[in-house]
């Protein structure tokens, strides 16, 4: 089960993060449908598209992401 901090930040358990493929820097949304709430995970491809072409040192977005957080297993 997750836990909310005093700032209302929610901790997502490691098992859930792994199953959903959540990595640092990834966007997630919470959506309501009826009486239920769902965690919507935006893909890593969306992050790549957002930053594509913004690096003056000519590294790829894949390389940049790997440099800042390490390689994904």
Pairwise CA distance, residues 36 & 38, whole Å: 7
- Residues 29, 37: contact at Cβ < 8 Å? no
State both tokens at 30: 């919470």
Tell me how far the alpha carbon of residue 13 is from its chain's centroid: 14
pLDDT digits (tens, 9 = 90+) for 9-18: 888 888 988 8
Pairwise CA distance, residues 29 & 65, whole Å: 21
Q: Are strands 10-11 and 28-33 parallel, antiparallel or unpaired?
A: unpaired
pLDDT digits (tens, 9 = 90+) for 32-56: 999 999 988 877 666 666 666 665 6
Domain boundaries, the chain: 3-69
């Amino acid at each position: 089960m997750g836990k909310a901090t005093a700032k209302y930040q929610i901790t997502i358990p490691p098992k859930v993060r792994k199953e959903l493929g959540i990595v640092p820097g990834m966007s997630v949304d919470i959506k309501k449908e009826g009486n239920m709430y769902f965690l919507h995970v935006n893909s890593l491809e969306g992050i790549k598209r957002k930053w594509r072409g913004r690096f003056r040192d000519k590294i790829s977005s894949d390389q940049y992401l790997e440099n800042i957080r390490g390689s994904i297993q």
